Amino acid sequence: MIPKSLKKKLTIESFRFANRSAKFLGYRKVCTLTSLMAEIQIRTAKRRVEAVKKNFRMIKGDEIGWQETFRYFWSSVADTLLLPHVDRTWVEGKIDRIENLHYAEPFKGKGLIVVTGHIGNPEMLANIAGVLGFPGVAVAEVPSGEWFREFLKIRERFGLRIIPVKGAYPRLVEALREGHFVYLVSDRNVSREKGHLIKLGKGYRRVPTGFARLSLETKTPVIFAYGVPLGRCEEGKYYGEVSPPYLPDSLDSAMEWFSDRLYETLKRWTDRWFVFWDEWESPTELP
């Protein structure tokens, strides 16, 4: 068994190597390699395969097309690895269209909470937002040190500012009061917070409440946004959608609004939901 410290070091070095190699390999070769990784995982990553199949059953009632999740994911990895080495024109060229972007325009300089999930490619969505003139602040679940610096090359490429999860809440409050956009990925509960139980299709899962608490404390509206690839790798332009702004009056109403938006999106794009862990609650564990 590989020691945890060594596994962490290998992960950091592998990510650094991939990040730097992408510049020299070029997009086509990176796509070829990531496509191969997708097929390997489909055949060998039993635990992740079962998690994805369960996601499909819970969201859409069957497992049809589950393999595409891995193919779209690794295609998104290729796009992500290219981000430190491209310019704004490349990012703009990856945009097919974004529906209802006008909902965000009035909040420039006033503050807005943008909530999303691991749908499509949040890394690309963040950089697209920066290129289109909507930079802001986001929280990242990455430790400090080398790992964090490697992620910054991607996540802060076009104007996004990253805040580590630990101690993030007061800094996000401050950012909103200064008129910044705050971006939160809220479909997985990765903190020590117990999370709020929501229903998605046929299943239940716990998700963080940070966006709701921020909105209620600062009286800042929330929008739900996402960006998904319409094809894979070089052919894969991104489609995005922005919801109308919403100002909750309670935690429960905020979480109900979020679960409705999330489910509608996941039902439409189930094969582009990149959650590879079984985080569904057992019915016997429900209150």
Range of the domain at 225: 4-281
In the predicted structure, residue 284 carries a pLDDT above the cut 70: no
Confidence (pLDDT) at 46: 96
Determine, yes or no, domain membership for 198. yes
pLDDT digits (tens, 9 = 90+) for 251-271: 999 999 999 999 999 999 999
How many folded domains does the chain comprise? Answer: 1
pLDDT digits (tens, 9 = 90+) for 175-195: 999 999 999 999 988 666 678
Mean pLDDT of 96-110: 95
Determine, yes or no, domain membership for 68. yes
Confidence (pLDDT) at 217: 96
pLDDT digits (tens, 9 = 90+) for 54-65: 999 999 999 999
pLDDT digits (tens, 9 = 90+) for 113-170: 999 999 998 888 888 998 999 989 988 766 555 555 666 667 777 878 888 777 888 9
pLDDT digits (tens, 9 = 90+) for 194-210: 789 999 999 999 999 99
Determine, yes or no, domain membership for 287. no
Determine, yes or no, domain membership for 286. no
In the predicted structure, residue 10 carries a pLDDT above the cut 80: no
Determine, yes or no, domain membership for 231. yes
**SS (HEC) of the chain:** CCCHHHHHHHHHHHHHHHHHHHHHHCHHHHHHHHHHHHHHHHHHCHHHHHHHHHHHHHHHCCCCCCHHHHHHHHHHHHHHHHHHHCCHHHHHHCEEEEECHHHCHHHCCCCEEEEECCEECHHHHHHHHHHCCCCEEEEECCCCCHHHHHHHHHHCCCCCEEEECCCHHHHHHHHHHCCCEEEEECCCCCCCCCCEEEEECCEEEEECCHHHHHHHHHCCCEEEEEEEECCCHHHCCEEEEECCCECCCCHHHHHHHHHHHHHHHHHHCHHHECCCCCCECCHHHCC
Confidence (pLDDT) at 152: 67
